[in-house]
Amino acid sequence: MPSLTEGLDSLLRQKPINEDDRRAAALFALDAIANALAGRNTEAGRILAAHAGAEPRDSAGKAFVMGAMTHILEVDDLHRASVVHPGCVVVPAALALGARLDVRGHAFLDAVLWGFEAACRIGSAVGPAHYRIWHNTATCGPFGAAAAAGRLLGLGSGAMVDAFGNAGSQAAGLWQFIETGAMTKHLHAGHAASAGVTAADLAARGFSGPPAILEGARGFFRATCPDAQPDAVLAEPDAPWALRRTSIKPWPCCRHTHPAIDAALELAPKLEGRTIERVEVETYGAALDVCDRPEPQSPYEAKFSLQHTVAAALADGKVDFDSFEAPAREAHAPLRPRIGITLGDNYAAAYPAAWGSAVTVSLEGGERLAAARTHAKGDPEAPLDQDEMIAKARMLMQKAKIGPALANRLIVGLLAFAEDGPLPDLSPFFGLA
């Protein structure tokens, strides 16, 4: 009987790619690259750039640096069913290897589609308990990077299975960093991208890997997934590509806060000059586990605080990069203790297929205002259009201190991937030799 990774390899090879798929992939690549460029202009990004510049980097090393930078600002994409951020792993892996191989746009975008598919299918199979300890992007990402790199390298079926086996053996990434807001989460994305490139590069040279890495007695599911759902890896092979079912973040914070932000922004215009007595946020269990943080002490902790993000949305009518800095944290400190976070049964039951929340504001005098979201803005059910995606990329490039003229050239060039345009070497933007 074929292993799950053998089945996944077969599924990828049989799944057709059309021009709409490539156009969507070009927008997701633009989003990931813009995130990486902006991520460099942060404390963590500057540390990574210094590390990168210390010595020349091979393809895996370049993928590591770009992957880590892509995941710094918490505004990269997210696939809900798998709770994986595929772009920060897959796009850097494909960029690093694609530049080395001198590929053009279609080859690059097809590799991105394969990478999203592999990471998200395996992420959809790990089960909810995995996410309580393990960071799915870190553990499932290496499979996606290996799939993207394997596609670019033209690996045959046996070699691709070897690549998956050795990518899976490098799966790692724990949530303990959340306790202090450490920079470790960026490391997760970088390692996943690097591990997949290394696994595929070795497989191209005949380095073998375990075919039953997922379902084996000493494999990934047995080790890290108490309630794994192995059938999800190969389920619905004719469904749209996972990339087409991936969400784009409009706000630079944890995706679990977004449906509540969206609902709070609806209420904000009605609150001007009025006194808020109490706010109730209903959400699902994973959002409570990760984002119940009433007193964030750093920008990173604020990005993972439902109390802070909802307070910012209600008080300011917007959420942007400045919403998490010290002045904003101080300004919203009086409101945060009045925001209660509770489990909503309907949202818990719908998760992870739908990430929803409701916000109810109780005003002085007894009036109550409420708004709810079944899905957040940027989900496939409420997608950002191309103009909104480009506007977001411009915002990120402004954060990166890239001037308008260069930003425009980058955006035009990246979107030209869909027309099989050339793949530029972006390494110099990240301090890579």
- Each domain of the chain, given as residue ranges in start order, spans 4-249+382-430, 255-373
Q: Is the dihedral of CA 114, 115, 120, 121 positive or negative?
A: positive
* CA 243 to each of CA 85, 109, 121, 351: distance values in angstroms, whole numbers, following the listed order: 11, 11, 11, 19
Residue type, 163: A
pLDDT at 433: 62
Number of residues assigned to the chain: 433
**Cβ atoms within 10 Å of 239's Cβ, excluding its own:** 12
Which residues, in sequence order, are bridge partners of residue 290?
none
pLDDT at 29: 97
Which of the following CATH numbers is that of domain 255-373: 3.40.50.300, 1.10.287.470, 3.30.1330.120, 3.40.50.20?
A: 3.30.1330.120
Residue type, 348: A
Write down the pTM of the prediction.
0.88
pLDDT in tens, the chain (433 residues): 899 999 999 999 999 999 999 999 999 999 999 999 999 999 999 999 999 888 889 999 999 999 999 999 989 999 999 999 999 999 999 999 999 999 999 999 999 999 999 999 999 999 999 999 999 999 999 999 999 999 999 999 999 999 999 999 999 999 999 888 899 999 999 999 999 999 999 999 999 999 999 999 999 999 999 999 999 999 999 999 999 999 999 999 999 999 999 999 999 999 988 999 999 999 999 999 999 999 999 998 999 999 999 999 999 999 988 999 999 999 999 999 999 999 999 999 999 889 899 999 999 999 999 999 999 889 999 899 999 999 999 999 999 999 999 999 999 999 999 999 998 888 888 878 6
The DSSP output letter for 178 is G
Q: What is the Cα–Cα distance from 5 to 409, expressed in whole angstroms?
A: 40
Which of the following CATH numbers is that of domain 4-249+382-430: 1.10.4100.10, 3.30.450.20, 1.10.1060.10, 1.10.10.1100?
A: 1.10.4100.10
pLDDT at 240: 97
**C-alpha dihedral (259, 263, 266, 269), degrees to nearest 10:** -120
Q: What is the Cα–Cα distance from 345 to 81, expressed in whole angstroms?
A: 18
Which residues, in sequence order, are bridge partners of residue 84?
79
Question: Cis omega before residue 230 (within 30°)?
Answer: no
Expressed in percent and rounded to 5, the helix, strand and coil fractions of the chain are: 60, 10, 35
Q: What is the Cα–Cα distance from 20 to 15, expressed in whole angstroms?
A: 14
Q: Which of 99, 74, 102 lies closest to 87, judged by CA?
A: 74
> Angle CA(374)–CA(379)–CA(384) in degrees, nearest 5?
125
